Structures are given as structure tokens and as C-alpha cells.
Structure 1
Amino acid sequence: MAEHHAPVMPIAKLARHNDKFRDVIWTGDKTQLVLMAIPEGKEIGGETHAGHDQMLYFVDGMGRATIGKTEMDISAGDVAIVPSGTYHNFQNVGSGMLRLFTTYSPPEHAPGTEHGTKADQEADPAAA
């Protein structure tokens, strides 16, 4: 999906209809908005973002969050807060997709970045 430039968008609806692993839909100077979909039994993959705070808003599915040394179940309606420099991972432990939208502050990915699958992201030399 091309980046949006509207000041208001139906983000939960967009997230619920997204099947891409990552789809950057808006990038500003200080914040970025990204849709994500994690298939059954898969995960985002453990990572740490130095210099980037991240908030993840879950709209569909069931998951397991690891943030630092804390593990917890997550589901639609939950938000996960990942401060800069904190290890994190999110796994889909339910049936169907785990769908969410996330914000990075400052932006983490190139504007307009799309990865259909995690494998696509891993094969992309430009991926952060």
C-alpha cells in the first residue's frame, strides 16, 4: 500500500485487512505508522531498537509478548510499549493472523517499505 497523506484514517480497519508482514503507511519527521500481520505459529523475531521507542496496538488474534525479561499474553485491544534499547519479540500463539499497527519514534524503516513476509524482510538488504 502506498503511504497515506490524510490526517485521519481508519487504522484499525486497515490493520484488520492487512496480510503483509510489514507495510509502512505513514512517515513523518519524528514518527512512523506501520501495519503488521504475523501468521499462526510465527513471530516478529527478537530485536532491539536503539534510539527508537515503539508502541504496538493489537487488533486481531492472540499472541505472546516478550519485552525485556517480562512475558505476557496479548490480544485484540492491547497495546505493548517498548522503550528504546529494550529487547522484544511478539509471537502468534492463536489461530489466524495476529494483526497490529505499530508506531516508531523516530521512524525505523524507509518510507513506503513493504514486506509481504518475514522472509521478504530478511532478504531485503535495506531492511532495518
Structure 2
Amino acid sequence: MQHTSVAYRSGFHVLIGDGRSQAASMVIAPGGREGGPDNRHGGADQWLYVVDGEGEAIINGETHAIRAGSLFLIQRGDLHEVRNTGGVPLETLNIYVPPAYASDGDELAAGKP
């Protein structure tokens, strides 16, 4: 069993995981964004849960409004970007199956935990 506390601090931070899944926090400042038109995870699905703030998720060219309580499944290979369009930091909890990042935040090669 593993356990951690979720601390929301600026940027992207891997929190906990094993060879099958992992969790990370992400905080985007007002006006900021993460990802982009070429961003995709070739080897992992991403569950994105919005804890606080508001913005938009652009997934495969389709824009979705997001706010606290929103939950999205971004499937492996989906092009995606998350933007903070609000006035406070956008805080998200992200679950990757299988892991998508090394503990230092560098993206793993597709399918390589």
C-alpha cells in the first residue's frame, strides 16, 4: 500500500504510483496553459479531475468548459491542452494508466513504466 497527501503547488508534480498507474497534481496560473496542439500520451490514458478554478480543455480540437468538479477521460493518443481562463489558479488531480511520467516529471516512452 502507498499513501501520500496531495499538495497543490505551481506546475506539474508526480505524487505517487506503481508500475500500473500513477497520480500527479497540476496547477496552472491564470492565463496559463499546459499541453498544446501536439501534446498526447501514446501509452497512457489520463483521468483529469478539476479540484479548483475554471478553464477549458481542448481535446482532439474540441473545446470543453471545465470547472471544479469536472472529470475527463483523455484517452491515449488524444491531442490535448488545458487552459486556465479564470482568475485563480486551476488545480487538477491527474491519474495515468499506465504511468506516463517518471518521478521527475519527464514523460515516459509509450508503454514503458
TM-score under structure 2 normalisation?
Answer: 0.85
Cα deviation, 1:89-125, whole Å, max 9, x if unaligned, reads 01000001000100111111112x26xxxxxxxxxxx
2:91 aligns with 99
- C-alpha separation in 2, matches of 1:110 and 1:83: 19
Higher strand share: 2
| Identical residues among aligned pairs (%) | 30
Unaligned runs of 5+ in 2: 108-113
Q: Which of 10, 13, 31 is equivalent to 1:20?
A: 10
The answer on 1:67 being equivalent to 2:64 is: no
Q: How does 1:1-128 map to 2 (within 5 A)?
A: 5-6=2-3, 14=6, 17-46=7-36, 47-111=39-103, 113=104, 127-128=106-107
> What letter is aligned with 2:9?
D
Unaligned runs of 5+ in 1: 115-126
Higher helix share: 1
The SS at the match of 1:56 is strand
TM-score under structure 1 normalisation?
Answer: 0.76
Q: How many residues align?
A: 105
- C-alpha separation in 1, matches of 2:12 and 2:61: 25
Cα deviation, 1:49-74, whole Å, max 9, x if unaligned, reads 10210010001001111111321110
RMSD value, Cα: 1.7
